[in-house]
A = this chain, B = another copy of it.
């Protein structure tokens, strides 16, 4: 009975490219959501090392090192390996196999027109030398998603083209092979505000040097907060300051629990007479309180590599099992189930 109920849970696929440890932006944008979703969904959490390699082929240490950092982050914030299947992409070769089948159903031209990929190619400065693996990563992502029969993928608005590409492939596959072996996926569009960087830039990013990491020490956090960008026109304490676009207040909104105090601080700041340092000190209190338990848990887990390995091995086995089920249907639909 219990098993049956469990079976009915919708499947969610979500994850990260292990190119750096996770930061507060990840927490706000996805991690806290995942901690909630795992109670109601059958959640697969992919550590996408193969995808990370598509633009880090010459620096695989960066990728492999961060597989464990990311796993630590997941566990430290409350992802429960009993509820969420945490796994390593490259250890599920069924994903690669499915990618190969999908690649026959997508034209090179279609991949070259993918708006997200086009932008990223520009950003990453590949120039004319685009690695083939990078161009086709949306196909690989379609395999990541569909190989677990995912119903939902939590995404930001900017990632919708990825899901469009996935569903295009799903329809093409099911039409070509007259099957329903592969499932279309729905976007679970998140409306979480994006956390700005400590430099006030719109996005907190691993590569932008403007991130506060879940693994930062107390001192690092304090230092980063005290050096944060605020309102550049708020030169003297008595000047009125701007709260909008001031990341210190964005962070308070995101992490502060005492909404009354935050409101008072904002009013005071806007009126003038409240110095940046004072607000930052308060933010430091708030963030240390938030990050303290995560850091403590993370340090404890980091000492127990055996446990982390076990979580990843078990999760990967579970993911493989599910992937094999779907692959069986895929091969049957393609009539290449030779020995059935």
A residues lining the B interface (CB < 8 Å): 49-50, 53-55, 57-58, 60-61, 63-64, 67, 88, 90-91, 93-94, 96-97, 99-101, 103-109, 111, 128-136, 139-140, 176-177, 309, 312-313, 331, 334-336, 338-339
Contact = CB atoms under 8 A, between A and B. Distances in A.
A334 B57 CA distance: 9
Given A99-B100, A103-B136, A338 B129 contact: no
Contacts of A60: 177, 334-336
From A101, A104, A335, residue with most partner B Cβ within 10 Å: A104
A107 B131 contact: yes
Given A49-B336, A99-B96, A107 B91 contact: no
**Copies, count:** 2
Given A63-B336, A91-B338, A104-B134, 20 more contacts: A60-B177, A64-B334, A64-B335, A64-B338, A93-B94, A93-B97, A96-B96, A96-B99, A100-B140, A103-B136, A106-B132, A107-B128, A107-B129, A108-B108, A108-B131, A109-B128, A132-B136, A136-B136, A309-B338, A312-B338
Nearest to A136: B132
Contact of A88 (B67, B96, B131, B338): B338
A203 to B, nearest CB: 25
B338 A67 contact: yes
Chief secondary structure at chain A's binding surface: helix
A124 to B, nearest CB: 13
Contacts of A50: 100-101
A101 B313 contact: no
Nearest to A96: B96
A49 B177 CA distance: 16
Nearest to A129: B107
Given A100-B99, A176-B57, A339-B309, A131 B105 contact: yes
Nearest to A49: B336
28 contacts: A55-B104, A57-B104, A60-B177, A61-B335, A63-B336, A64-B336, A67-B336, A88-B338, A90-B331, A93-B96, A93-B97, A96-B96, A96-B97, A96-B100, A103-B131, A104-B131, A104-B133, A106-B131, A107-B128, A107-B131, A108-B108, A108-B132, A109-B128, A109-B130, A132-B135, A132-B136, A309-B338, A309-B339
B88 A108 contact: no
A176 B90 contact: no
A176 B58 contact: yes
Contacts of A108: 108, 130-132, 135
A97 B336 CA distance: 19
Nearest to A313: B339
Given A128-B109, A177-B60, A100 B133 contact: yes
A54 B18 CA distance: 31
Nearest to A98: B96
